[in-house]
Amino acid sequence: MPERTATIASRVGLHARPAAIFVEAAAELPVEVTIAREGEPVEDALDASSILSLMGLGAEHGDVVVLRAEGEGADEALETLVRILETDHDA
């Protein structure tokens, strides 16, 4: 299962606007993606296409998260989502 790490770039973390942008992109992808804080067990990963899960993650500016995806196109999907997380949407 491919995985990527990303550092949260938005100055106030994954609050409403950056979380909505990320979730919308994740929901449009042809693969299922999970997200977790770096260092957390794989079984604690959350559905990346759920706004409630993402807000519950509580990721703040500078936190590192791990994205995992499975299926055809997983690598490309992860690259897209990493770019979103590593962009400051509060600028």
Please identify every residue annotated as catalytic.
Answer: 15
CB 91 within 8 A of CB 18: no
Closest-CA residue to 57 (of 26, 88, 21, 14): 14
